[in-house]
Structure formats: C-alpha cells, structure tokens
Structure 1
Amino acid sequence: MDNATLEELAAFGELLDFSRIFMLVAAAIFLWMVNSLVRRFSQKLMEKIPTRRFLILQTSTLITFLWYFGGAYWMIVGILQPPTEMLLALGGSAAVAVGFALKDVAASIIAGLILLFDRPFQVGDRVSFGDTYGEIVSIGLRSVRLSTLDDNLVTIPNSRFITEVVSSGNAGALDMMVVCDFHLALDADLELAQQLIHEAIVTSRFVYLKKPVTFAINEVVVAERLAIQIRAKSYVLDVHYEKAYQSDIVTRVSRLLVEHGIARPLLNSLSPLTTQIAETHNTPH
C-alpha cells in the first residue's frame, strides 16, 4: 500500500471520528424538529386564517424544500468539511452509484422540483389523477400526498405527474365548480324544474354567488328509457364543503320536485327489463 493511499484513508478516518458523527446525528434531528415545528405552526395558522389556507400550505412546502436542501449542504460542507479533491471524487462516485440504485427516487425528486415551479397543481387543490380524486395535502421531495374524500391518504411518486394526465378542479382558488345532474320525465315542466333547482342552489349556505349558476339540458337514457337531464353548474365557497354542498342541493331539489309534482323518469313506469323480471316472478310455475 503506497503513501498516497494511506494518506487518503487517514483523511477519510478523520472525517468519521466520533465527534463529527455525533454532530451529524444532532444536525439531522435538528433539521427534522424544525421542519415539524414549521408544519405545526402552518397548521395552526391555517386554522386561524382559513381564507389564506392555500397560500400558507404552499409557503410551508417551499420552506421545507429549501430547509432540507440547505441543511444537507451544511451537514456535508460545514460539519464534515472534506477536502475539495475528496468531495469531488466522492461526489462523482456517489452520483453514479446513486443514479443506478435510486434512479426512480432521483426522477421523483427532479419531478418534485418541476412540480414546485411549473405548478400544474398546488397544495390544497382538488385533483383527479387516474381513478383517485382528492385534495393535495403536501408536495414532497419524492412524492405527492393526496387525501381522498373517504379520508384515505394516497402517496403518489412525483415522476408519475410528469408523464400522466392530472386535472385540477379549483387551480389554487378556494371556490370550485360543483356539477349536479337531475333526471326528469320527457313530459316534465322543464322551466319550473329549472327554477326550482336554481332556487335550491342560490339559497344554499355553501354556495359562492360571485360566480354564475348555469344549466345544460340534454336527452339521455335512464333505465333503458329516454329522460331529460338537467345539469346544474354552480360554485361552492370552499372546496372543503364540496360534498356537503352537493348533498344539500340534491336533497332539497328532490324534495321540491316531489312537492310540485314534477315527474322523474323512474316514477312514471318501470323499465322493460324491470317489467320482464317482475312478470317472471309473478308467473305461476
């Protein structure tokens, strides 16, 4: 073993002495604790200022990114203080090894940076990704966490958002469009039905009236019969009330339609398939 190799081993041993290892562990714990405090503080702040919830979530996410990157740099350069030659050599070797072993993780980290600056969606948005729909609760270095309406926490690697389609329902705004479909018989009074639906929407405690209420009317097939579909498009004042708003509208519209005698397609007559099943059960054997 030559002198150069011995010198390199000695320098490497100095980097991994007990005091520096202790400082590295302490620094890692410090980084984690500060990040936890930032998240708790942002959570408390969101509870006090709900109208600025999205801005607070986005700011805390950016702070987390910068904090971890800065902390990693400080741990390597400030605590270990390796020689420049060793830093370059180890950095090159580590980059190659990590690139092969953790290529998917590296792709997700790069994708996370792209998501942060390109912003196809933001923390707090209601998004649809594949068969998953819910609210973005965090955008991390490796993955995005999405809370579904069934209160399930779904973790999706960042790299998937770069290559697959994702749709955002509110695009950073507190309000969001909610679509409710109502089906009526062909001979129903459409004008009255539309008035009743409009009344139920504008009197809901969850409605956002600064944006318009619109309707789209179409013929569709319901239970193998033609029916009229009235699609009501309106806005909820906060995405957190999406399902409460939708339930409120459907419940009150259904009651109003019954009170005013407006026929629904399934109330007039049974579908041919249902009639055939009923006749089969009633036929004596």
Structure 2
Amino acid sequence: MESLVAQDSLATVQDSVAIAQPDSTIGQTVDTKVSQFKDFFSFTKIFMSLVVLFGTYFFTRVLSFLLGALAEKRSSYRLILKRVVPFLNVLIWSTAIFIVIAGIISPPIETILTVGASVGIAVGFAAQDILKNIFGGFIIIMDRPFQVGDKIEVDGYYGEVTEIGLRSTRIVTPDDSLVSLPNADLVSNAVSNTNSGALDCQVVSSIFLPATVNVEKVKEIARRAAVSSRYVYLKKPIVIVSENKVFEQNYVIQLKVKAYVLDIRYEFLLKSEITELILKELNTLEMVPESVQVKRGVS
C-alpha cells in the first residue's frame, strides 16, 4: 500500500515538472531574443554605423564641391562633371548603407525581411508624397529627360539645373534665385529643355520696328550684329526672320534674331549684346524713331 502511494506521488511530481518545462523554455527563448537584439544593436555597432554614415555624408559633400569647382574651371567638361555627381552620390550612399546593414549589423535574413516589411508599411502610409518624389528622382536619373547643366522650363520657372536630388531638383533662375522643384511634379508635368545636354543653345532676340522700315536693310544690320558678338557660336546657323504684328492698334514688324550661344551661361549676355548692337546702328543711320519697342525673346 505504501509502495502504491509512493508511486502516485512520484508520478505527480513528474507531471508537475513536465508542466513547468514549457515556462522554462519560454523564458530561455525570450532571453535568447533579447541577447540577439543586444548583439545586433550593441554600442560598438551603433558607433561604427554612425561613423560610416557621417563619413559618407562629408565625403559626398566634399566630392560634390571639388567636382563643381573643377567643372567651373574646365568649361569644356563642365556639363559632364556636373552630371557625374548625382550618379556618384547614389552609388556611394548605396554602398555605405549596404556596408552598415551587411557588414556591421549583420542581422539574419528573417530579421531583415520582418523589419523591412514593417518599416515599408509604416513609411508607405506616413510619407506617400516623399516616396513619390523619391521614385520621381530615380525616374529622372534613369530616363534623363534633363541633366545637370541643362536649361529647363517647368511650371513657369526657367533656369539652369544645378542639382538632381532624390526628393527635389534645384534650378537657378536668370535673376539668381534658387528654386526647388519636387521630382513628382517634374515627372508628371511637361518640361521644356533648351539645350538637351549640349553646351550651346539657341537664343532668340526680338525687336519691334515700324512697318515703314526697310526690312532687308535691318536684316543685314541684325546679321552683322549677331556675327560680331563675343558670345555667338559661329559653327551653328544664324537665322533672321520677320513677321507683321499688331501692336497697340498699329502695324509693326517683329524681327527675330536666332543665334546660338557658345555657353548657356552667356545666354542673356548674347541677347543683350545683339540687341544693343542692332539699336546702336539703327540709331546711327536714323532708321528708327525713339519709340522702338524691344522684347527679349525666349530661347
């Protein structure tokens, strides 16, 4: 009888141990996860990651500055050097992020997938506009509707592209204002590109003259003015056209001088010089009264 009671007691103890076993396993699992988390995000790894990221930031800034300065000194390579900068920045940052994730933190693939999915969903809801601009930046870099150094016009803004970023594109207007345009707008709207990657571009100057003026004589004067300009690109054709217009209920002649500038940076200098040379000779010959209207055309 005592033997049976002892056996029952032993069985009860074994059952209790078996029931308590899962709790111990759960505790060990939690401890393991916490230990893995500490290993992934230890002070050393966080410090090394910050060093890589800050080092990458300063390196890209210095590289962009040096290439920009070199581009201004070498006018023949100016556009090429400026267009290399966005690609180098994307390449350098991609490499740095890969080094931080794969080389320093080194999480298991399951962790990367889980965290990536969670972050992707959260960011997708919280920053839809930012993501649109980032995707727009990649499209601009890959499709290349314009490049750094091009003169573009979009949404009423006209200027030279100075930087193509992942979120926005920056242009400098003729009055030296810096305008940031969201990449999403640039992808969805029509963009006019003046030079399409070339160093030169066409410049159009317009002059309104009285209907009684000798058109052929004025065209000769305009051609001489364009050819004698310091900024004209003589390897490209110079075209001069005239058209009858109505200005303030009077018939006038609009004379357009279409010439190419050596460097897009001198676009407005060419316009101004051609206009001044034409008016100077017309006034010398007394062919035009003082009421002549001059309009700077759009290139």
1:45 Cα shift? 1.8
Q: After superposing the two structures, state which structure 1 stretch, 120-129 or 17-26, moved more.
A: 17-26
SS of aligned partner of 1:171: coil
Tell me what 1:225 maps to: 250
Q: CA RMSD in A?
A: 1.7
2:159 equivalent in structure 1: 134
Query: What does 1:29-178 align with in structure 2 at a 5 Å threshold?
Result: 29-178=54-203
Change in CA separation of 1:9 and 1:220 when aligned onto 2, cut-off 3 Å: farther
What is the CA-CA distance between 1:14 and the residue it aligns to?
2.3
Deviation, 1:216, is: 2.1
Name the counterpart of 2:19: none
Q: Which amino acid aligns with 2:274?
A: I
Match 1:184 to one of 196, 209, 218: 209
CA contact (8 A) 1:183 1:265 kept: no
CA distance in 2, matches of 1:265, 1:215: 23
CA distance in 1, matches of 2:128, 2:31: 33
Unaligned 5+ segments in structure 2 are: 1-22, 294-299
Q: Which sits farther off after the overlay, 107-116 or 162-171?
A: 107-116
CA contact 2:209–2:292 (8 Å) conserved in 1: no
2-side partners of 1:240 and 1:192: how far apart? 31
Picking from 260, 266, 270, the partner of 1:241 is 266
Partner residue, 2:235: 210
The amino acid that maps onto 1:100 is F
Which amino acid counterpart does residue 184 of structure 2 have in structure 1? S
- Residue 283 (structure 1) aligns with: none
State the Cα deviation string for residues 51-101 of structure 1 (Å, max 9, x = none).
Answer: 111111111221111111221121122111111111110011111111111
User: Structure 1 regions of 5+ residues with no counterpart?
Assistant: 269-285
How many aligned positions are there?
Answer: 268
Q: Is contact 1:147–1:154 with CA below 8 Å preserved after alignment?
A: yes
Of all paired residues, the percent bearing the same amino acid is 32
